[in-house]
Amino acid sequence: MSATARRQSTALIELPRFETVPAGWWEETVKRWADGQPTASELRKGVAWLDGVREQWEKLGRDTLEFLKARRYLEVRWGELLGSHPGRGPGRGKRSSQDDLSKNERLDFRRLAAGKPAVLAALREATDEADLVRALLIRLAQGYVRAQRASAPRKEPLTLRRTRGETRPAEQAYSIAEWEGLEIGARKEIIAAGFDCRTKLNEQPSDAIEWARRSLNTVTGCMHDCPYCYARDIAERSTAYPQGFAPTFHPSRLGAPANEPLPPEAKTDPAYRNVFANSMSDLFGQWVPREWIEATIEMARRNPQWNFLTLTKFPQRAADFDFPDNWWMGTTVDAQARVANAEKAFARIRCGTKWLSVEPLLQPLTFGRLDLFQWLVIGGASASTKTPAWVPPFDWLAALCAAARAAGLAIYHKTNLGLDDRMRLREFPWARRSRPRVPAPFRYLKGL
């Protein structure tokens, strides 16, 4: 690797070291390489960065074939993203047919992801070539951190949250890098011990998620960076989240549902039986280790007395898992661009209840397969640090409700829609819905 390339690699971003990935590293990397219109300089720096990673892997005695193929893929794809930019990378000027990936090269790239759920999910979710680049970059960076940690001297996992006396492994919180630095046997022991911890569910007395009067976050943190995200605002201003909004696993919370009986209200109000699982994360995000997801699903399986409601913007990955009957799998659809992906994924998903969260409703929506779902939750947007409060136009709301009603869905209107409580629908799937009737004094004509 030349001194110039080394300087370019360093200028692009500091390579992660043995302990962990610096805060914001993933986001900065993804935005720098995949968002907007990449320049020829960014292409050259990106390839130089991959050279630096490959050099580090060679020092660790790792196979470099994966990086050689990945480098080739990025060269071609970046070239296509750059179009006819006169100063772009390999093969400057107009792209020739030799710059294209052959059929075998495309198959090779997909074979690289074989058995890697996070990458497979990312490939299925990709809507354009920039998304494929993003998925590959995350894959490479995670692999590099794992290789570094594997070559480091073995040591006890870092305790992120200390209490009086010794903190047991199951009572710790784990970042992705810390978790992947553990041996498989240690991970299994930590998860098993987590089910024995004496934690509790969180009560939700406010109307923010009034359809679930309990919440639980086995995983916190997210990498979506949605501008209207309430969870990021909470994590960044609350001392209860020392890890900030970085994806983090809390195994001790796996035991919480078993430590709390159903409240008496659950006999008449389904909301008191519902637990909003992972309200502070996307459990099926492509960055979430499969073990975290499976442990959370197992938690639901062991506690059939509760309903566990979860939401994701990666429904295709959720389709790869088996769910118990008390798992309510939902997906967020805030814009028309998400509809096709949601319907494709939920045609494969098998669970007790399938639902849609249209919050915030950012444009009129048209679905082709509402029959795949049993429940529709609709909302506007409360003010966040990045976005103002938003109440969608009534005609958008009315059209969506009409389509849902025709498909037989139960409908729940959130309080941030600006509707009077007497107007809001607060229905639950599988619950009996009474037909409203006009009071007797108004029934002065037949049929009323």
Confidence of residue 164 (pLDDT cuts 50, 70, 90): very low
Question: How does pLDDT run across 68-125, given as a tens digit for each residue?
Answer: 555 555 545 444 443 433 333 333 333 333 334 455 544 444 444 343 444 444 444 4
pLDDT of residue 431: 81
pLDDT of residue 170: 73
What is the 3 state secondary structure string of the chain?
A: CCHHHHHHHHHHCCCCCCCCCCCCHHHHHHHHHHCCCCCHHHHHHHHHHHHHHHHHHHHCCCCCHHHHHHHHHHHHHHHHHHCCCCCCCCCCCCCCHHHCCCHHHHHHHHHHCCCCHHHHHHHHHCCCHHHHHHHHHHHHHHHHHHHHHHHCCCCCCCCCCCCCCCCCHHHCCEEHHHHHCCCHHHHHHHHHHHCCCCCCCEECCCCCCCCCCEEECCEEECCCCCCCCHHHHHHHHCCCCCCCCCCEECHHHHHHHHHCCCCHHHHCCHHHCEEEECCCECCCCCCCCHHHHHHHHHHHHHCCCCEEEEEECCHHHHCCCCCCCCEEEEEECCCHHHHHHHHHHHCCCCCCEEEEEECCCCCCCCCCCHHHCCEEEECCECCCCCCCCECCCHHHHHHHHHHHHHCCCEEEECHHHCCCCCCCCECCCCCCCCCCCCCHHHCCCCCC
What average pLDDT score do residues 293-301 get?
A: 97
Residue among 194, 192, 142, 182 at smallest CA distance from 158:
182
pLDDT of residue 238: 81
pLDDT of residue 34: 43
What average pLDDT score do residues 139-162 get?
A: 43
User: Using N-to-C axis directions, what is the helix angle for 65-82 and 103-112, rounded to 10°?
Assistant: 120
Confidence of residue 440 (pLDDT cuts 50, 70, 90): confident
Question: How does pLDDT run across 8-63, given as a tens digit for each residue?
Answer: 333 223 333 222 334 444 345 444 444 444 444 544 555 555 555 555 545 544 44
Is 50 exceeded by the pLDDT of residue 210? yes
- For residues 316, 322, 326, 332, the Cα torsion angle rounded to the nearest 10 degrees is -10
Whether 259 contacts 303, CB under 8 Å:
no
Q: What is the spatial distance between Cα 362 and Cα 385, in angstroms, rounded to a whole number?
A: 18
pLDDT of residue 169: 73
Is 60 exceeded by the pLDDT of residue 202? yes
What average pLDDT score do residues 207-232 get?
A: 91
- The more confident residue out of 174 and 33 is 174
Fold of 202-417: TIM Barrel (3.20.20)
pLDDT of residue 168: 62
What average pLDDT score do residues 164-190 get?
A: 81
- The more confident residue out of 37 and 195 is 195
Cβ neighbours, 10 Å, residue 250:
24
**Sole residue written with tokens 């710790």:** 172
pLDDT of residue 279: 93
pLDDT of residue 331: 97
pLDDT of residue 52: 56
Confidence of residue 266 (pLDDT cuts 50, 70, 90): very high
pLDDT of residue 23: 44
What average pLDDT score do residues 420-436 get?
A: 86
pLDDT of residue 140: 53
pLDDT of residue 405: 95
Cβ neighbours, 10 Å, residue 368:
9
What average pLDDT score do residues 186-208 get?
A: 91
**Sole residue written with tokens 């062991």:** 302
- Considering the entire predicted model, what is its pTM? 0.64
Q: What is the spatial distance between Cα 408 and Cα 414, in angstroms, rounded to a whole number?
A: 19
Mean pLDDT score across all residues of the chain: 74
Handedness of CA 237, 241, 244, 249 (dihedral sign): negative
What average pLDDT score do residues 143-164 get?
A: 41
- What is the layout of strands, in order, in the sheet containing 307-312? 202-203, 214-216, 274-277, 307-312, 327-332, 353-358, 375-378, 410-413
Is 80 exceeded by the pLDDT of residue 198? yes
Q: What is the spatial distance between Cα 393 and Cα 337, in angstroms, rounded to a whole number?
A: 19
pLDDT of residue 340: 95
Question: How does pLDDT run across 354-366, given as a tens digit for each residue?
Answer: 999 999 999 999 9
> Per residue in 333-350, is it b (16+ CB within 10 Å) or e — as a string?
bbeeebbebbbebbeebe
Tell me the domain boundaries of the chain.
3-151, 202-417
pLDDT of residue 159: 32
- The more confident residue out of 292 and 77 is 292
Handedness of CA 252, 254, 255, 256 (dihedral sign): positive
Confidence of residue 5 (pLDDT cuts 50, 70, 90): very low
Confidence of residue 327 (pLDDT cuts 50, 70, 90): very high
Question: How does pLDDT run across 377-395, given as a tens digit for each residue?
Answer: 999 998 988 899 999 999 9
Burial of 406 (0-12, 13-18, 19+ CB in 10 A): exposed
What average pLDDT score do residues 164-169 get?
A: 52
Please calculate the CA angle 263-264-269 and round it to the nearest 5 degrees.
90
**Any idea how long the chain is?**
448
